[in-house]
């Protein structure tokens, strides 16, 4: 007899939740979406029609859903970063397991309070550190577990955030101002990378962290002479500026559709004139890139010392020509280096008898390359379904207790940056 699928409710019907919920369309035997909670009626309608949700299971917010009692096995929580804590607590207390978008908290106080609720309820909570599931990083983890590099001496990681991604999300967009979104650039964007470092370095834990960074490009004094305030409205440089909204969004209307044209979400087959009208009527993505209210950094470097004596560095550089994630790990038996974007890495082992002094092995995972975080999106939701069903944790599983090290390191790295790079001690006493 076939087992019934895990049932889930979407909380926050945005892009990330729908990405995971769509697993129910391709694997209906494993997952079924039975409800949605979102204050936006258009998004509720979209989810209701997309997944066949009954009208009585459509709610305006997490509190209304929690008040109804437990109507499913789990929740897919894809709300905004600063809403994660407030929406999760009532649903956990209502008895739901949860797939929770990263970051699961915006500060240490929220992290500690959420972990206390999870201990109280016994709920299974998995965090969407989706890159752990990308074949590229999973293969590297398996190499490390096999002992191929020996003991790790140093790990170097970098994330290059493309100019169009940085400008869309972190200068003009939702994560541009920490007073509004409540997250830093390191927490909102690069907590993936810090989590990966913590995961790859297990079982050793970080002991100290220091960090520096700032806003290099996107500030008023760097605006070109004669620049306007709104690209397509009053700027004479609208055709030549590389950050012009005309070039970034009108010329590529599908690239950042869910951000740049959010106000046209309910309009089917929006035209170029619709988009121009949106820009004329206050669309924030038409603002001059140098004259926004952004306060999050566009570059940051982090230095970590681990209990084992190993060291790690992470560099986030925004405004690059293309997006890229790089990694280089050096161990006592050899080194490993590659880029996620190529889906390929090289393992160089020390070999005293070889003419070159080393032996190279190239691991090419390009055949595994798929859409969605290097192929990690579908693997993550499949693993969550299995975790809810059996309680078993895979090597990639980021049950919330496995996500604490990365979050705590990010919180203290940002504290260090705010204090001019001052070294911060990382204490895991209460979490062990």
Could you tell me the residue ranges of all domains in the chain?
A: 6-101, 131-218+294-372+397-431, 221-286
Own/partner contacts of 221-228, CB < 8 Å, gap of 24 or more, are 222/290, 223/288, 223/290, 223/291, 224/290, 227/288, 227/290, 227/291, 228/288
Per CATH, 6-101 and 131-218+294-372+397-431 having the same topology is answered: no
Confidence band for 23, pLDDT divided at 50, 70 and 90: very high
pTM assigned to the model = 0.94
Taking residues 191-200, what's their average pLDDT? 97
Mean per-residue pLDDT of the chain: 95
Alpha-carbon span 411 to 54, nearest angstrom:
41
Confidence band for 367, pLDDT divided at 50, 70 and 90: confident
Tell me the pLDDT tens digit for each residue of 73-121.
Answer: 999 999 999 999 999 999 999 999 999 999 999 999 999 999 999 999 9
Q: Which two tokens stand for residue 234?
A: 């009053």
Own/partner contacts of 270-278, CB < 8 Å, gap of 24 or more, are 275/249, 275/250, 276/232, 276/250
The whole-number pLDDT of residue 371 equals: 59
What percent of the chain shows pLDDT beyond 90? 90
Confidence band for 356, pLDDT divided at 50, 70 and 90: confident
Tell me the pLDDT tens digit for each residue of 27-73.
Answer: 999 999 999 999 999 999 999 999 999 999 999 999 999 999 999 99
The whole-number pLDDT of residue 26 equals: 96
Quick check: 352 pLDDT over 90?
no
Quick check: 393 pLDDT over 60?
yes
Confidence band for 139, pLDDT divided at 50, 70 and 90: very high
The region that residue 260 occupies, defined by phi over 0 for left and psi between -120 and 50 for alpha, beta otherwise, is alpha
Q: Which two tokens stand for residue 407?
A: 């979050």
CB neighbour class for 40 (10 Å; exposed up to 12, middle 13-18, buried from 19): middle
Instruction: Determine the CATH number of domain 6-101.
Output: 3.40.50.720
CATH class of segment(s) 131-218+294-372+397-431: alpha beta
Contacts of 107 (CB under 8 A, 6+ apart): 411
The whole-number pLDDT of residue 380 equals: 96
């Amino acid at each position: 007899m076939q087992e019934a699928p895990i049932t889930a409710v979407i909380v926050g019907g945005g892009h990330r939740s729908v990405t995971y919920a769509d697993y129910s369309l391709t694997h209906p035997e494993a997952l079924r979406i039975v409800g949605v909670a979102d204050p936006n009626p258009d998004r509720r309608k979209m989810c209701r029609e997309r997944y066949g949700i009954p009208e009585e299971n459509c709610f305006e917010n997490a509190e209304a859903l929690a008040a109804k009692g437990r109507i499913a096995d789990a929740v897919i929580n894809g709300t905004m970063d600063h809403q994660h804590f407030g929406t999760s607590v009532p649903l956990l207390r209502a008895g739901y397991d949860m797939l929770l978008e990263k970051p699961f908290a915006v500060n240490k106080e929220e992290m500690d309070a959420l972990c206390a609720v999870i201990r109280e309820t016994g709920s299974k909570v998995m965090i969407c550190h989706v890159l752990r599931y990308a074949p590229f990083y999973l293969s590297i983890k398996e190499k490390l577990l096999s002992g191929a590099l020996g003991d790790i001496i140093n790990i170097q990681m970098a994330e290059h955030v493309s100019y169009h991604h940085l400008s869309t999300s972190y200068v003009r967009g939702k994560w541009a101002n920490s007073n509004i979104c409540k997250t830093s650039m390191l927490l909102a964007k690069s907590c993936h990378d810090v989590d990966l470092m913590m995961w790859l370095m297990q079982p050793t834990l970080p002991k100290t962290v220091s960090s520096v960074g700032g806003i290099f490009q996107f500030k008023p004094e760097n605006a070109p002479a004669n620049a306007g305030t709104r690209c397509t409205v009053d700027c004479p440089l609208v055709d030549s500026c590389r950050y012009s909204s005309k070039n970034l969004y009108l010329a590529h209307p599908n690239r950042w559709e869910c951000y740049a044209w959010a106000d046209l979400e309910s309009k089917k087959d929006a035209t170029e004139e619709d988009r121009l009208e949106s820009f004329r009527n206050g669309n924030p993505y038409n603002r001059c890139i140098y004259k926004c209210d952004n306060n999050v950094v566009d570059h940051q470097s982090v230095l970590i010392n681990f209990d084992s004596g190993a060291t790690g560095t992470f560099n986030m550089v925004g405004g690059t020509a293309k997006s890229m994630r790089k990694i280089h790990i050096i161990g006592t038996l050899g080194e490993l280096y590659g880029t996620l974007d190529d889906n390929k890495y090289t393992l160089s082992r020390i070999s005293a008898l070889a003419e070159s002094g080393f032996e190279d092995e190239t691991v090419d995972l390009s055949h595994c390359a798929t859409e969605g975080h290097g192929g990690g999106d579908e693997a993550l939701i499949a693993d969550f379904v299995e975790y809810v069903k059996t309680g078993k944790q895979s090597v990639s599983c980021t049950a919330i207790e496995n996500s604490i090290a990365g979050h705590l390191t990010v919180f203290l790295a940002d504290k260090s940056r705010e204090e001019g790079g001052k070294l911060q001690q990382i204490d895991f006493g209460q979490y062990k």
